[in-house]
Chains A and B, each alone.
Chain A
């Protein structure tokens, strides 16, 4: 049945036991994203090392989040924290690009486990256009939060 294809065990595990959940201090920037179709929302904070958010080699020290949403949006955000914490901004953006490509590929994109880790479990979700936004909600918040912290640096 297609249900198991979409709701891989990995996704259900992350949904039931989310990683990195809860908003934490300190943080450089926060992003709030809403899915206007269903009202799901996420608030996500990033903490980059030092005060050089403009620097692609800055390290993502922490990503913390809170919100409410379906299993797909919650699990995808949990997976995100696993994949980007401890990486450089550049590396995190590369993973981000790969995840977005997977999600927008309507099931035609072969995911690379070395890059996406547990994120490959979302390949089945990509076949359901209505759910792609759910999967990307936290990821969009991450990108937005990082660019906000960057913007803050520039105006300083």
Chain B
């Protein structure tokens, strides 16, 4: 990782996040280690939303009054900035409710391709076709594909995961074949922290003419990501995991693909012409944004990527690298603690999941909560992955730009406290 990046000024950054100043559970300092679930928002994002609502709020892409014009400009400017942030063009960025909706959009549009024109041919799937996912997916990038297979008769296949928590690519060429229509995989696992080899997967998918769909929920907020350079066909991420508001996410699709993709949700704002008998549809991204969209949320997301860009994604990644390394090394020194996922920093991001012998994750999480440390416990919406790793549930700490080494220390002390409380240490 870039050791040349100048370290973050955490005191200044923390001051931008008012929530981090509060206390929890009878005066404990809040140690927020659940940014993988949802990140906190800086004043700059909150202010941007409020300023928009106080000065320019109106329905976008409708009406010709001044407010409508300003609201549309604010919305489209947010799209342009988000696009630039991930190396895309504005027309390749579709605003959705969240990443989950983005993945469903692609999966349902693919079923709709069955009854659309010849331009949608490449999206059709049916019996004999295969969709390949991985065993480490969040349910959001698994269930929609299971459902697509159920609707169309296609077959679902998946990459396994090694004991270390890496994607098992040994049978890449047997899994991804001429029958494969989609390869859907996560860029960075929300449980293991593993960063997957996008280039290898994209290359194989291209060889066989399959579409790639990347779940970038845990990468775009934490690493510099250039979707164009990665060469993926579709990608999704959620605003609320990258300092932005909830209720807004992004579906990225390469222009030529979005041009040919049939709509999923239909209605106002996504049409070109409507007659009683039938309608034609607007070009992307509008074709995929039916109804009055979320507006202040998109504006907030624009402010969030501005914030991240000013701090610098390289520096954020380097900072998280440091914290993750410290957490892995401290946790591995505690007898009875087992990290689920890679224990080295090679191709690894800042999600650290672990189990504590004799202390159920719920109970460990409760003790951590009692000392102010907010972590996630359970299967983190990756139930098959937990089954694969042979653990019913884990405790997960995730780091972001506003965390520091004191937070890592609080986590480690909290885990020791849990062991003391349950009499296992």
Q: Which residues of A contact B (CB under 8 A)?
A: 1-3, 6-7, 12, 37-40, 68-72, 128, 131, 134
Contact = CB atoms under 8 A, between A and B. Distances in A.
A131 B421 CA distance: 18
B25 A71 contact: no
Residue from B361, B383, B392, B421 with most neighbouring chain A CB atoms (10 Å)? B392
B178 to A, nearest CB: 37
B392 A40 contact: yes
Interface stretch (B105-113, B163-171, B242-250, B363-371): B363-371
Nearest to B362: A70
Interface residues of B, number: 18
Given A38-B379, A38-B393, A39-B378, A3 B421 contact: yes
A4 B299 CA distance: 45
The 8 closest A-B pairs by CB, nearest first: A70-B362, A38-B378, A70-B360, A3-B370, A39-B379, A71-B363, A70-B363, A39-B392
A72 B379 CA distance: 18
Contacts of A72: 362-363
A9 to B, nearest CB: 12
Interface of B: 25-26, 360-363, 366-367, 370, 377-379, 383, 386, 392-393, 421-422
A97 to B, nearest CB: 25
A2 B26 contact: yes
A1 B377 CA distance: 21
B422 A40 contact: no
Contacts of A12: 422
A134 to B, nearest CB: 6
A69 B360 contact: yes
B363 A38 contact: no
A150 to B, nearest CB: 31
A120 B370 CA distance: 22
Given A39-B386, A69-B392, A71-B363, 5 more contacts: A1-B26, A2-B25, A6-B366, A39-B392, A69-B360
Contacts of A71: 360, 362-363, 422
Q: Chain A's interface: helix, strand, loop or mixed, by majority?
A: mixed
A134 B421 contact: no
Contacts of B26: 1-2
A128 B369 CA distance: 11
Nearest to A128: B366
Nearest to A67: B392
A7 B421 contact: yes
A68 B366 contact: no
Contact of B362 (A1, A3, A38): A38
B1 to A, nearest CB: 33
A70 B361 contact: yes
Contacts of A2: 25-26, 370
A3 B393 contact: no
Centre residue among A1, A7, A12, A38 by max chain B CB count within 10 A: A38
A150 B421 CA distance: 42
Contact of B361 (A1, A7, A38, A128): A38
Nearest to A2: B370
27 contacts: A1-B370, A3-B366, A3-B367, A3-B370, A6-B366, A7-B363, A7-B421, A38-B361, A38-B378, A38-B379, A38-B393, A39-B378, A39-B386, A39-B393, A68-B392, A69-B360, A69-B362, A69-B392, A70-B361, A70-B362, A71-B360, A71-B362, A71-B363, A71-B422, A72-B363, A128-B366, A134-B362
A68 B387 CA distance: 13
Contacts of B367: 3
A38 B421 CA distance: 21
Contacts of B370: 1-3
Contacts of A128: 366
